[in-house]
């Protein structure tokens, strides 16, 4: 993978993390959550783990 592609991917992931963070802040401001809101929160947590896994792989990627 070339450095430009890695930079673009990291920037896209940073944007997604910011969106997930904003959604998490809204979720945490409420005291009671519907089943749908709770499910969405779990999905965001899973996505954050996927992003972490991807970033870990990117740090091990050989730059061409």
pLDDT tens for residues 21-40? 999 999 999 999 999 999 99
The residues, ordered by sequence, that sit 6+ positions from 23 with a Cβ below 8 Å of its Cβ are 40, 44
> Cβ(55)–Cβ(10) under 8 Å?
yes
Residue 37 falls inside a structural domain: yes
pTM: predicted TM-score of the whole model, two decimal places: 0.87
Instruction: State percent of the chain over pLDDT 70.
Output: 100
Query: Quick check: is 64 in a domain?
Result: no
Domain that holds residue 48: 3-59
pLDDT-derived band of residue 64, with 50, 70 and 90 as boundaries? confident
Domains: count for the chain: 1
């Amino acid at each position: 993978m070339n450095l430009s592609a890695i930079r673009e991917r990291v920037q896209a992931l940073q944007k997604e993390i910011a969106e997930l963070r904003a959604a998490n802040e809204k979720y945490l401001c409420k005291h009671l959550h519907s089943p749908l809101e709770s499910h969405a929160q779990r999905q965001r947590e899973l996505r954050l783990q996927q992003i972490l896994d991807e970033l870990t792989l990117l740090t091990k990627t050989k730059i061409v």
